[in-house]
Chain A
Amino acid sequence: MTMATTTTTDPMLPRPYLVRQVAKETPDIFTLTLEPENDPNGDMFLPGQFSMLWVFGVGELPISISGDPASPDRLVYTVRSVGQATHSLVSQRVGESVGVRGPFGAGWPAEVARNRDVIVVAGGIGLAPLRPLIYHVLGNRRDYKRLVVLYGARSPRELLYRKELASWARHHETQVLVTVDYGGLGWRGHVGVVTTLFKYARLQAPRSVAMICGPEIMMRFVARELEAQGLARDDIYLSMERNMKCGVGLCGHCQYEKHFVCKDGPVFRYEQVRSLLEKYEL
């Protein structure tokens, strides 16, 4: 994985950011755009890193950055409203202040993927942590060969970034395939779990690196399918999600056997976590 980019200020100290936009993606998923109150340049971040977002008076949440790493002056987060803290976060109004710590963690291995095909497999809101990588590849198109994006969601109305998915597909040497688990009669796209898309993806395993993000069971099935397609385990990366608190590997809340997800991850090589993915108790 890529070495972490971290802030030079105290990592435990939230910095004030202003909410610039809140956009509704799906009935319960929102994308927030934040800008720093004091530092117009913002913080550099790597695709796959996350921040701790502090909703004042409510609590702190680990959220992956979903914006373009080439625009560090704005931090973009895509958040599902599932509990009190996330509901408060997505209910912030433009101009209100949010505390930000980070960026934290090891990101997607963009360097490892140079001059190779990049296969991105996302499920549900798992597309959000992968979007910065897609921006990075499209923004540095000559550094990479083919880009294949396979994206699965629960239903058509739960698809994220629909316009962007269509625009990515228009790029040179880029294939974007989208599927939903269930579709109504009005849906004219693919229906089936995300692994059913592999038969339409023109993969060339030996020159490919795959990055996966989604529910763990989905990642397990996808990794298995990628292996069946001929990808080496060392060329498969996935992003884990655990209960991150401190963000710097001190508190132990996100411990995943010998790993701290906040510091050693959230992106891991499949080989590092493969056996853990099949343990009931983890």
Chain B
Amino acid sequence: METLEPIIANHPFFAGLDGGFTNLMVGCASNVRFQAGDYIFKEGDPANTFYLIREGRVAVEVFAPQHKPIIVATLGVGEILGWSWLLPPYHWKNHAHAVEDTRAIALDGKCLRTKCEQNHDLGYEVLKRFARIIEQRLEATRLQLLDVYSARR
């Protein structure tokens, strides 16, 4: 039976992570599957998990009253879904649903937060990696906000 350790170790997000840290991660990890159309989380729900996507695609959506929901990002193989587990109040800020049948590794955020508090080296590694993801998505969001393809710029 395939263990989660090589899957986590080979996931781009954890590339180069110390083997001891990978073992700590494995203790918080489990396999999950979502069918196309399944909601993975909804805005306001407690955020105690994040996902390493192994197969399929997930859409992150935003809605506003009296507007149709819009998809603001899709995430695919090798990407990370969710960072609301990392910071209080640990609630999701968006909806996310599977666009295709999706396989992922779910990491228990509560479990990982506890380990990060106990081992600050692990905590720093995790934060550095999430900071990079957040920075990339912030830059992408800025480009989206510029609405560069609009004729009315």
| 6 A-B pairs in the complex with CB atoms less than 8 angstroms apart | A123-B149, A153-B149, A182-B144, A188-B100, A218-B149, A221-B143
Q: For the complex, give the distance between the alpha carbons of A52 and B153 in Å.
A: 24
Q: For the complex, give the distance between the alpha carbons of A215 and B152 in Å.
A: 13
Question: For the side of the interface on A, what is the size category?
Answer: 20 to 34
Interface residues of A (CB under 8 A from B): 28, 80, 82, 123-125, 152-154, 158, 181-185, 187-193, 195-196, 199-200, 214-215, 217-218, 221
Would you give the 0/1 interface string for B77-111, flagging 1 where the beta carbon is closer than 8 Å to chain A?
01100000000000000000001100000000000
Q: Which residue of chain B is the closest to A192 with respect to CB atoms?
A: B73
List B contacts of A188 (CB < 8 A): 99-100
- The answer to whether B70 has its CB under 8 Å from any CB of chain A is yes
Question: For the side of the interface on B, what is the size category?
Answer: 20 to 34
Known contacts A80-B151, A153-B149; A185/B68 CB under 8 A: yes
Would you give the 0/1 interface string for B113-153, flagging 1 where the beta carbon is closer than 8 Å to chain A?
00000000000000000000000000010011011111101
| A158:B69 contact, CB within 8 angstroms | no
| A158:B149 contact, CB within 8 angstroms | yes
List B contacts of A181 (CB < 8 A): 144, 147, 149
| A193:B70 contact, CB within 8 angstroms | no
Q: Which residue of chain A is the closest to B145 with respect to CB atoms?
A: A181
The 5 closest A-B pairs by CB, nearest first: A124-B149, A154-B149, A215-B148, A183-B71, A193-B143
Q: For the complex, give the distance between the alpha carbons of A183 and B146 in Å.
A: 16
Interface of B is mostly: loop
Q: Which residue of chain B is the closest to A29 with respect to CB atoms?
A: B151
Interface residues of B (CB under 8 A from A): 57, 59, 61, 68-74, 76, 78-79, 99-100, 140, 143-144, 146-151, 153
Give, as a whole number of angstroms, the nearest-CB distance from B148 to chain A. 4
Extra pairs beyond A181-B149, A192-B74 (17, CB < 8 Å): A123-B149, A125-B149, A154-B147, A181-B144, A182-B144, A184-B71, A185-B68, A190-B74, A190-B76, A192-B140, A192-B144, A193-B144, A196-B73, A199-B76, A215-B149, A217-B148, A218-B148
